[in-house]
């Protein structure tokens, strides 16, 4: 396996999870199935940029009262991008790693990836606890370490990217949605689709459009 770039030594590769590695967004699906009208309104406000994930995410889980069984049943039902396995196999074949940065619960995403056979992917995101048989999610433990305007993200992906850039690495990021907007200007190479692609196009941020991981595979291999 040959790669067009030295992904192992020169780059650090990050990816969003919901809507990027998977074809659906687990938080959106949870709100659709278990959410109150307030939860659904919060999602509309969040999507419109009128509410922050730091405000909305904890409120969602307090209101939804989702049991661990229901949470994992829905989480495990999220469809994986069918082209992700080929891309990830090629990435590992050249000695490169992938780290997931998620606006969801890191524990839930890690469990999903482990269940699907991806035990060597590190996941960073928001904190999750099970209390009185209810799943609760709160801003990540490093939430205060944020580059976001007004500290609006529950988990700041930009800070994770900048930590690697400070070490002299170039950063690649794959994303699709609202929780990826803050990371867009901190990646040396940005692959975007969905809302993220529109945001970048509207704001003059350079990006490479992709629809599936087949597109990313073709770019590198």
Strands (E) across the chain are located at 11-15, 98-105, 122-131, 134-138, 170-175, 189-192, 208-209
Q: Which domain holds residue 168?
A: 11-24+80-129+139-220
Whether residue 45 is contained in a domain is answered as no
**Does 64 fall in a domain?**
no
Domain assignment present for residue 210? The answer is yes
Identify whether 48 is part of a domain: no
Q: Based on the structure, what is the number of domains in the chain? A: 1
The answer to whether residue 50 is domain-embedded is no
Let me know if residue 46 belongs to a domain.
no
Determine, yes or no, domain membership for 215: yes
Do the domain assignments include residue 51? no
For residue 165, the domain's CATH number is 3.40.50.1000
> Would you call 76 helix, strand, or coil by DSSP?
helix
**Cβ neighbours for 195, distance < 8 A, ≥ 6 positions apart:** 47, 176, 177, 178, 181
Residues in the chain predicted with pLDDT less than 50, given as ranges, are 143-144, 150
Query: CB-based contacts of 166: which residues, under 8 Å, 6+ apart?
Result: none
Asked if 108 and 141 touch (Cβ cutoff 8 Å), the reply is no
What is the model's pTM? 0.93
To the nearest 10°, report the CA torsion of 106, 111, 117, 121: 20
Predicted pLDDT of residue 50: 84
pLDDT digits (tens, 9 = 90+) for 55-107: 899 999 999 999 999 999 999 999 999 999 999 999 999 999 999 999 999 99
């Amino acid at each position: 396996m040959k790669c067009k770039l030295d992904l192992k030594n020169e780059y650090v590769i990050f990816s969003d999870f919901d809507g990027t590695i998977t074809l659906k967004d687990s938080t959106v699906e949870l709100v659709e199935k278990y959410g109150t009208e307030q939860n659904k309104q919060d999602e509309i406000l969040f999507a419109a940029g009128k509410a922050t994930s730091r405000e909305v995410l904890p409120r969602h889980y307090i209101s939804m009262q989702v049991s661990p069984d229901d949470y994992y049943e829905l989480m495990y039902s999220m469809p994986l991008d069918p082209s992700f396995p080929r891309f990830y196999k090629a990435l590992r074949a050249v000695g490169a790693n992938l780290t997931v940065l998620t606006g969801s619960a890191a524990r839930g995403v890690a469990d999903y990836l482990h269940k699907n056979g991806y035990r060597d992917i590190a996941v960073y995101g928001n904190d999750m606890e099970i209390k009185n048989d209810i799943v609760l999610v709160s801003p990540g433990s490093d939430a205060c370490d944020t580059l976001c305007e007004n500290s609006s993200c529950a988990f700041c992906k930009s800070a994770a990217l900048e930590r690697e850039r400070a070490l002299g690495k170039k950063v690649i990021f794959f994303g699709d949605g609202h929780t990826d907007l803050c990371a867009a200007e901190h990646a040396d190479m940005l692959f975007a689709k969905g809302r993220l692609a529109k945001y970048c196009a509207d704001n003059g941020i350079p990006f490479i459009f992709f629809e599936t991981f087949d597109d990313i595979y073709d770019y590198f291999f």
